[in-house]
Amino acid sequence: MLNIAQEPAGEKTLIMHIEGELTIETVAELRESLLEAFAAPWKNIQIEADNLSGIDFFGLQLLCAAHRTAASKDKVFSWQSERPGFLDEAMLTAGFTRHCGCSLCPPGQKCMWI
């Protein structure tokens, strides 16, 4: 089960609180919320995942696709605070580790994957 709550933070930023497991069974829920957020005038979409209890390859893949979509729409998609520590192991297992930011990140923006 995945719970998603959206919280505007100023005029340009939307924080998406996700709680539960982001897995193959639940990625469609977050995908729909992300598509709505990208269609709205938000400049910054931030993920707060402190209460995320699990993630699989499909959840990581959705977050990566969302990052790419945001960059193509001149928006910023990032973690609301530091990336939750348990994601590091999931990223390593799935091959999502990077040593430098992706080529889509605008200059000066920290890539969410490093």
**CATH number (domain holding residue 42):** 3.30.750.24
Expressed in angstroms, the distance from the first to the final Cα of the chain is: 27
pTM: 0.84
User: Based on the structure, what is the number of domains in the chain?
Assistant: 1
Domain that holds residue 72: 2-94
Neighbour count for residue 33 (Cβ, 10 Å): 19
Q: For residue 44, give both structure tokens.
A: 């910054």
Q: Using alpha carbons, list the distances in angstroms from residue 44 to 19, 35, 110, 113.
A: 20, 13, 13, 17
**30 part of a folded domain:** yes
**35 part of a folded domain:** yes
Q: What pLDDT, in 10s, does the model give residues 24-57?
A: 999 999 999 999 999 999 999 999 998 999 999 9
107 vs 53: CA distance, rounded Å = 32
Stretches where the chain sits below pLDDT 50 are none
Handedness of CA 24, 19, 14, 107 (dihedral sign): negative
Predicted local confidence at residue 85, as pLDDT: 78
| All residues at 6 or more sequence positions from 97 whose CB lies less than 8 Å from its CB, including other chains | 91, 113
**56 part of a folded domain:** yes
